[in-house]
């Protein structure tokens, strides 16, 4: 079942629709190990579906016959336990069968075709999504792991039951890890903490999230876990009196106002305490002074009513109130949070939510099945056309809040999950490398969020530390690609500015703008990072192709020929390009030209091959062009012609940082292997040394008549120390219509004079001379000279 089939259909509003005996307690610690134990958890399925589960069990039992776990137990106990955890979420029959057979393809040689024939395509697809890829396909374990994660997450984006089964699998493995070798325990625990626990949190599965964190922490740092666990146990005993007093006073206040509520203490986990100690660089006593209560009430209005009663009872701590009902978290979590000061001056945290919100907070996306299974075992029907929007209180005609058929449905966690899963698809579309894909996903799993507004008051949830660039890409990739500036709360800000909750963000775009590689240093979302990288790679490929075409054309001109047509309808030219690409070891014309532009193929050699192919087809060199190309220039490498530098190539042509050439300088180009074209001045000592070692890779390059941008070069300004010196130099540069792009004042002790090392952006040598003359006229300037290596 795909996400689209339930994206708008998560929980019924009325609490009396909960299955009998269902609560949001922790997942069962004692999972079944036999089919008899499993069958007791499957009573919510129809008799026909229970028979299908039994058939899947027998198939899995036969497939795993003779296999044992590291603990010595029969291997089948693990799939049965995983199916038991899935049954606790009330997953459907296909998911239970897939849980029983999730290792059959990977460990037992069962094929997908066999599963389709016996259990149907949907179940087979689930099992296939849970199966790791063949390790023999990859060079390293890391590569295999990254590609397997990619496969699983893509299967999850099509059917979220894949990740639910996988999380149940990982949870049971983590619970039974004692028999594993130490190095395997450490690797699996680290993987769990980095990948699986954040995925559980991202999908709102907070019970699984907390338990996976605890188990991983215990395996990674057993001594720290033991010490903190003992400290927490002691702390619970010492503060029991204050907890009981606060609970009693809250219950009395609610009874006085006739508010029905369930009050539960909220315990901190060992790992959350440890993480807070590390983040705050503080001791146990400092981070353990806050204890909390969770208050569960009947409907949405009672949440705010309960908060008002509490604020009358105790003084609230300023700045510690958060309304996650009006603005839900990215994973669909909804509650009111407030921190109050108890009678003994101790901070006390309270969370107010309805029972349905509590179910979503604990079960997340899995709550869909818990709430929507009918007696036949099928998923419930879609919501009614006039249903109240999720998270919005119904209103009477007079505009006042009212019940109107019960409590409003909580945040649509499935829809929230669908949004994140769609973002995975977007990242997948832009990323072909598995390791890079996994890196983007890890970034996107950050649970901390800020909530910002568009100028039209639309709310967007972004990771903490997100910038206007992340905001722009969250709106649309075209907006992100063409961003030039941003305003936050009406004020212009740098694009690297971290956003805060409540900010109103406006992005300013320009049709000519394009992504800056420097953005990768501070964007936080996987979507923004993958979009920027994809654009830069595409741009690099296109620029390399254009440069390669120019170089090959000029090299072929030295043979007295012109490039064949690129028109795919020209069959003769297309066949010629196909033969040339095959001879050169490329898949096609595009790839060949990119290789030439990036220096992986030498233009002269490719041109000679092309000339030979053209000659075989009867094409003869143009005698006039051949004569001019050989004798019309005194260049040391005339057969390659000249590549013109106009500043339009951002990735395939770069200017050497040692000599920083500008238009007007005599230049030469070095074509490194896979590095593109590097331009030096002919006077550059670094370039000369490189030429003496590898002269064959040097090309004749010239400045274009009309460069499209300014070029940086380095100058040194010797000045007398005094007030306003820097301002005078900057004013002189600005007066000459140039820009200072970098300034280095050195770390020498103050003296009568100092040297300022500047990088200035100028049009050409004439413009540089004007800038230097302008600086020399400043009163404090003693000398100005250009840096030459």
Share of the chain above pLDDT 70, in %: 76
- Average pLDDT over every residue of 59-83: 89
- Average pLDDT over every residue of 213-235: 88
Average per-residue pLDDT for the chain: 77
User: Would you say residue 5 has pLDDT above 60?
Assistant: no
- Residues 99 and 106: their CA atoms lie apart, in Å, by 13
Helix (H, G, I), strand (E, B) or coil at 338: strand
* Short-list 649, 675, 679, 643, CA closest to 661: 679
* Short-list 612, 619, 785, CA closest to 713: 785
Q: Are 776 and 786 in contact (CB under 8 A)?
A: no
Q: How many CB atoms lie within 10 A of CB 464?
A: 14
Which is more confident, 742 or 628? 742
User: Would you say residue 148 has pLDDT above 60?
Assistant: no
Report the pLDDT value the prediction gives residue 614, as an integer from 0 to 100: 85
- Average pLDDT over every residue of 201-207: 76
Distances (CA, A) of 518 to 471, 534, 543: 16, 14, 19
- Average pLDDT over every residue of 533-559: 79
User: Would you say residue 420 has pLDDT above 60?
Assistant: no
User: Would you say residue 363 has pLDDT above 50?
Assistant: yes
- Residues 163 and 159: their CA atoms lie apart, in Å, by 8
| Cα-to-chain-centroid distance, residue 521 | 13
- Average pLDDT over every residue of 434-443: 52
Q: Are 523 and 529 in contact (CB under 8 A)?
A: yes
Report the pLDDT value the prediction gives residue 19, as an integer from 0 to 100: 33
Report the pLDDT value the prediction gives residue 504, as an integer from 0 to 100: 87
- Residues 174 and 197: their CA atoms lie apart, in Å, by 11
Active site residues: 106-107
**What sign results for the dihedral spanned by CA atoms 537, 538, 544, 545?**
positive
Distances (CA, A) of 194 to 169, 278, 672: 16, 17, 39
- Average pLDDT over every residue of 697-713: 85
User: Would you say residue 171 has pLDDT above 70?
Assistant: yes
Which is more confident, 521 or 284? 521
User: Would you say residue 266 has pLDDT above 50?
Assistant: yes
Torsion from C-alpha of 171, 174, 179, 183, nearest 10 degrees? 140
Which is more confident, 143 or 594? 594
Which residues partner with 292 through β-bridges?
A: 266, 349
Phi, psi for residue 497 in degrees, rounded to 5: -65, 125
Does the predicted TM-score (pTM) go above 0.75? no
- Average pLDDT over every residue of 211-223: 91
Residues 6+ apart with CB under 8 A from 576: 564, 610, 613, 614, 617
Name the pLDDT band for 22 (thresholds 50, 70, 90).
Answer: very low
- Residues 554 and 606: their CA atoms lie apart, in Å, by 12
- Average pLDDT over every residue of 603-620: 80
Helix (H, G, I), strand (E, B) or coil at 467: coil
Which is more confident, 367 or 24? 367
- Residues 382 and 362: their CA atoms lie apart, in Å, by 23
Share of the chain above pLDDT 90, in %: 19
User: Would you say residue 368 has pLDDT above 70?
Assistant: no
User: Would you say residue 473 has pLDDT above 80?
Assistant: yes
Name the pLDDT band for 405 (thresholds 50, 70, 90).
Answer: very low
Region of poorest pLDDT, from 188-197, 284-293, 552-561, 741-750: 284-293
Helix (H) or strand (E) holding 115: helix 112-119
- Average pLDDT over every residue of 63-69: 87
- Average pLDDT over every residue of 256-266: 86
- Average pLDDT over every residue of 259-267: 83
Report the pLDDT value the prediction gives residue 55, as an integer from 0 to 100: 92
Q: What is the DSSP letter of 395?
A: B
Report the pLDDT value the prediction gives residue 374, as an integer from 0 to 100: 38
Report the pLDDT value the prediction gives residue 238, as an integer from 0 to 100: 66
User: Would you say residue 396 has pLDDT above 50?
Assistant: no
Q: What is the DSSP letter of 406?
A: S
Q: Are 78 and 69 in contact (CB under 8 A)?
A: yes
């Amino acid at each position: 079942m795909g996400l689209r089939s339930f994206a708008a259909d998560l929980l019924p509003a009325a609490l009396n629709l909960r299955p009998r005996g269902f609560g949001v307690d922790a997942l069962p610690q004692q999972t079944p190990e036999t089919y008899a134990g499993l069958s007791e958890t499957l009573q919510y399925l129809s008799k026909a579906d229970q028979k299908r589960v039994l058939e899947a069990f027998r198939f899995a039992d036969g497939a795993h016959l003779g296999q044992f776990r590291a603990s010595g137990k029969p291997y089948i106990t693990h799939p049965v336990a995983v199916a038991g955890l899935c049954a606790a979420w009330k997953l459907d029959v296909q998911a239970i069968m897939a849980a029983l057979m999730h290792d059959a393809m990977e460990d037992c040689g069962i094929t997908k075709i066999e599963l389709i024939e016996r259990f149907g395509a949907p179940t087979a697809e689930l099992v296939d999504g849970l199966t790791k890829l063949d390790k023999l396909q990859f060079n390293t374990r890391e590569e295999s792991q990254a590609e397997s994660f990619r496969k699983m997450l893509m299967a999850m984006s099509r059917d979220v039951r894949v990740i639910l089964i996988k999380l149940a699998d990982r949870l049971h493995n983590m619970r039974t890890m004692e028999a594993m070798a130490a190095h395997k325990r450490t690797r699996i625990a680290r993987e769990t903490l980095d990948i699986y626990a954040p995925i559980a949190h991202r999908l709102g599965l907070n019970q699984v999230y907390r338990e996976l964190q605890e188990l991983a922490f215990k395996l990674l740092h057993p001594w720290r876990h033991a010490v903190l666990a003992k400290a927490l146990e002691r702390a619970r005993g010492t503060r029991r009196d204050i907890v009981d007093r606060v609970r009693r006073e809250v219950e009395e206040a609610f009874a006085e106002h006739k508010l029905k509520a369930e009050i539960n203490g909220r315990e901190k986990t060992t790992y959350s305490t440890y993480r807070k100690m590390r983040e705050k660089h503080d001791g146990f006593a400092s981070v353990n002074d806050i204890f909390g209560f969770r208050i569960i009430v009947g409907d949405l209005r009672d949440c705010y009513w309960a908060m008002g009663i509490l604020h009358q009872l105790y003084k609230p701590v300023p700045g510690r109130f958060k309304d996650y009902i009006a603005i839900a978290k990215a994973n669909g979590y909804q509650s009111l949070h407030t921190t109050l000061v108890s009678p003994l001056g101790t901070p006390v945290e309270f969370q107010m939510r309805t029972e349905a919100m509590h179910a979503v907070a604990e079960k997340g996306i899995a709550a869909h099945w818990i709430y929507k299974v009918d007696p036949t075992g099928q998923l419930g029907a879609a919501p009614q056309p006039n249903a109240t929007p999720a998270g919005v209180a119904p209103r009477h005609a007079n505009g006042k809040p009212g019940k109107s058929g019960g409590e409003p449905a909580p945040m649509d966690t499935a829809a929230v999950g669908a949004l994140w899963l769609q973002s995975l698809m977007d990242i997948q579309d832009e990323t072909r490398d598995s390791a890079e894909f996994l890196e983007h996903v890890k970034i996107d799993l950050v649970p901390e969020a800020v909530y910002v507004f568009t100028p039209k008051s639309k709310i967007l949830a972004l990771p903490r530390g997100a910038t206007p660039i992340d905001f722009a890409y969250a709106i649309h990739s075209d907006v992100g690609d063409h961003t030039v500036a941003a305003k936050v709360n009406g004020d212009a800000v740098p694009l690297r500015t971290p956003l805060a909750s409540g900010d109103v963000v406006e992005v300013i775009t320009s049709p000519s703008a394009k992504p800056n590689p420097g953005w990768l240093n501070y964007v936080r979302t996987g979507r923004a990072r993958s979009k920027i990288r994809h654009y830069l790679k595409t741009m690099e490929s296109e620029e390399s192709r254009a440069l390669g075409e120019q170089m090959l054309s000029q090299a072929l001109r030295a043979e007295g020929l012109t490039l064949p047509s690129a028109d795919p309808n020209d069959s003769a030219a297309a066949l010629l390009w196909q033969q040339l690409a095959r001879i050169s070891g490329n898949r096609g014309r595009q790839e060949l030209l990119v290789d030439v532009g990036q220096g992986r193929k030498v233009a002269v050699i490719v041109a000679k091959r092309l000339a030979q192919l053209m000659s075989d087809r009867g094409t003869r060199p143009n005698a006039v062009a051949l004569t001019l190309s050989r004798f019309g220039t005194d260049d040391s490498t005339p057969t390659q012609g000249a590549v013109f530098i106009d500043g339009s190539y951002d990735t395939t042509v770069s200017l050497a940082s040692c000599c920083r050439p500008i238009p007007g300088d005599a230049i030469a180009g070095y074509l490194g292997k896979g590095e593109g074209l590097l331009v030096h001045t002919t006077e550059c000592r670094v370039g000369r040394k490189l030429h003496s070692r590898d002269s064959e890779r040097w090309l004749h390059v010239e400045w274009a008549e009309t460069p499209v941008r300014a070029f940086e070069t380095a100058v040194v300004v010797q000045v007398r120390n005094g007030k306003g010196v820097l301002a005078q130099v900057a004013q002189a540069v600005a007066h000459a219509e140039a820009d200072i792009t970098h300034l280095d004042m050195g770390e020498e002790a103050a003296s009568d004079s100092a040297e300022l090392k500047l990088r200035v952006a100028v049009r050409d040598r004439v413009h540089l001379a004007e800038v230097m003359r302008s600086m020399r006229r400043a009163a404090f300037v003693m000398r100005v000279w250009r840096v030459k290596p």
